[in-house]
Amino acid sequence: MFQNVIVRKPARSLVEGITSAPELGRPDYDLAVKQHQAYREALAACGVKVRVLEPLEAYPDSCFVEDTAVLTRHCAIVSNPGAASRNGEAREMLPTLREFFPPERIESIQTPGTLEGGDVMMVGDHFYVGRSARTNEEGIRQFLAILNRYGLTGSEVPLEKVLHLKTGVNYIENDTLLVSGEFVDKPEFRRFRKIVVPPEEAYGANCIWVNDRVLVPLGYPTVEREVRKAGYEVLLTDTSEYRKLDGGLSCLSLRF
């Protein structure tokens, strides 16, 4: 069960954020602010304490806090983002991490290693790490070494098409995965019960489990129906403006 969640309000510079889908248009900042407020309310409804950080205008993508760190039950691992424009975001997260973790339990990924939290999926005490355009071999090597020091384990998952691991696969507890695209048949996930997301709803695969509830993006009816059928209470959350920046529900928070 999670006790805490860290989020950061979107900056006005959000509209200049990184995107691989310019055809979706620029985000509407005012709508993004309203969606973020609703997202925080949904998280609070799951019984967690939500720590809300102020916007960072210098970093357009800084509301996507998941990429700045991986938080485990034993330690915090500060990332080293693979996107150059985001390198300072991890440093900006450090003061907040110190509120929750003692200094000796805050680790970090060092250059030339790169790692972004969107490439890390926690399943109990095991962490799947996607090797992507943002997370490289050296970053994964360092990450796995840190996990091992704390009695945790991890394994690499090569990515073929998606930006981040959790773009296409997300764990919602109870040995259940939401999978889309290249993840449907990946051998690394053979043992799990799978909810297969159809191609036309691929974005909807990025759901998050928070204390027996699952936040599902609004507008993906197959995903919503299948998650409900699997026995979960669903909280629908609109992330249309964050989708324009390759962001989803998991990207917007650190949950621990």
Q: Which residues are catalytic?
A: 164, 251
Burial of 205 (0-12, 13-18, 19+ CB in 10 A): buried
Q: What are the angstrom distances between the C-alpha of 105 and each of 27, 75, 156, 172? A: 37, 5, 23, 27
Query: Which residue carries 């695209």 as its tokens?
Result: 181
From 15, 32, 7, 119, select the one nearest 67 (Cα to Cα): 119
* Cis before 217 (ω within 30): no
Q: Is beta strand 126-131 parallel, antiparallel or unpaired with respect to 120-123?
A: antiparallel
Which helix H or strand E contains 221, and what residues bound it?
Answer: helix 221-229
Radius of gyration of the chain (CA): 17
- DSSP per residue, 134-197: SS-HHHHHHHHHHHHHTT-EEEEEE-SS-SSHHHHEEE-STTEEEE-GGGTT-GGGTTSEEEEP
Amino acid at 79: S
d(CA 114, CA 48): 30
Would you mind telling me the total number of residues written for the chain in this entry? 256
